[in-house]
Amino acid sequence: MKRIITITGLIFSLQLSAQDTKEKKPVQIFSSEKAINATTTETVGKGKMAFKVAHNFGDIAGDNGGIKQFFGLDNSTDIRIAFQIGLGKRFDVIAARAKGAGLQQQLWEGGIKYKLLEQIENDPSHPLSLALFANTVIASNKANSFPNQENSYDDFSDRISNVLQLIIARKMGKVSLQLNPTFVTRGYAISYDQKNIFALGGAIKLPLVTNRLNLVVDYFHSFRKQSVKDAFKTNDNIEFSDPLGVGFEILTSGHIFRLNFTNSTELLENRFIPRTITSWGKGQFRWGFNISRNFNLWRDKK
């Protein structure tokens, strides 16, 4: 009799535990799958597809901006068109095409994002979200006939670059914080550059005035060797800058409107992390926008 009571009590407690787990609600830390430049831990959801268009204009100020270029709106530096499909509740696949702003252009991207952990409301045992992002990008533009250029490809492997990124995010009250340790590897780099670069990024979202208006900021610092920086300065008169993005997002019942400003010209981590050479201090920042539309591809029979 005692055994029956014990087993019954155990089953009842397990049912309560399962019910309690189902009732726990994951925290939405950021409003979408991207902050500005930084990828977030958010996924689109199983059976859904997000169609995304991202666009960066030219310099607002500086030598290449101002009224003569209509503050950058006359020029397009980079455009990315992407499909992000949720194969699982926490697993997305990504297929995209970017124009590219440097010597590497016609960029084809394939990627995955998998959310390893989710922050759960009012649950100290699930204090943060953790996601893994990885991609492969192939540049299909014509090889340069001159040696030691970014697109001086000798074989197919020279056209390939990869990103591996761990995304750690947490929402504290109304403030969202994120870290993006990132590793970029490239099949080809010019003689005085390095193929492999580690960078540390981060993002923050702050509510302004109401819960419908947010300030979003993200930033990346690349740990490039000083000898490499000196070589670029000597040979090409190039100084690298850290990508910094500032945006304002307005939330409505069905859409997110975001006004972004960033000094990075390119949209892919494979490019803006190792190759941002435009500076906020010189007026070399630009307006950019993201348009995203979600579609339901299928529903679980359950």
Give the separation between CA 290 and CA 248, rounded to whole angstroms.
Answer: 12
Q: 243: exposed, middle or buried (C-beta count within 10 Å: 0-12, 13-18, 19+)? A: buried
Q: What is the arithmetic mean of pLDDT over 64-78? A: 87
pLDDT band at 292 (very low <50, low <70, confident <90, very high): confident
Question: Which pLDDT belongs to residue 17?
Answer: 45
Give SS3 for 26.
strand
Average of per-residue pLDDT values in the chain: 89
Q: Where are the domains of the chain?
A: 27-292
Of 2-16, 117-131, 233-247, 275-289, the one with minimum mean pLDDT is 2-16
pLDDT tens-place string over residues 151-198: 999 999 999 999 999 999 999 999 999 999 999 999 999 999 999 999
DSSP 42-59: ----TTEEEEEEEEEE--
- Calculate the dihedral angle through the C-alpha atoms of 95, 101, 103, 109, rounding to the nearest 10 degrees: -10
pLDDT tens-place string over residues 74-94: 888 999 999 999 999 999 999
Tell me the sheet residues that pair with 162: 136, 185
Give the separation between CA 94 and CA 108, rounded to whole angstroms.
Answer: 11
Question: Which pLDDT belongs to residue 269?
Answer: 96
- Alpha-carbon separation of residue 199 from 3, 57, 122, 269 (angstroms): 58, 25, 32, 10
Smallest CA-to-CA distance from 286 within 271, 302, 267, 273 is with 267
Smallest CA-to-CA distance from 199 within 185, 213, 212 is with 185
Question: Which pLDDT belongs to residue 95?
Answer: 97
HSE, side-chain direction, 13 A CA sphere, residue 243? 29
pLDDT tens-place string over residues 27-42: 999 988 999 999 999 9
Q: What is the arithmetic mean of pLDDT over 267-285? A: 94
pTM (predicted TM-score) = 0.86
Beta strands in 91-142 (DSSP E): 91-98, 107-117, 129-139
- 27-292 architecture in CATH? Beta Barrel (2.40)
Give the separation between CA 156 and CA 21, rounded to whole angstroms.
Answer: 49
Of 24-28, 105-109, 207-211, 257-261, the one with minimum mean pLDDT is 207-211
Question: Which pLDDT belongs to residue 200?
Answer: 98
Question: Which residues fall within 8 angstroms of residue 230, CB to CB, at 6 or more apart?
Answer: none
Please tell me what DSSP assigns to residue 195.
S
Indicate the residue type of 6. Answer: T
Report strand pairing: 107-117 vs 210-222: unpaired
Question: Which pLDDT belongs to residue 296?
Answer: 87
Rg of the chain in Å (alpha carbons): 22
DSSP 246-270: EEEEEE-SS-EEEEEEES----SHH
Judged against a pLDDT cut of 90, whether residue 15 lies above it is answered with no
Beta strands in 128-222 (DSSP E): 129-139, 160-172, 175-186, 196-208, 210-222
Question: Which pLDDT belongs to residue 14?
Answer: 42
Give SS3 for 168.
strand
Question: Which pLDDT belongs to residue 112?
Answer: 97
| Tokens, residue 137 | 């990008």
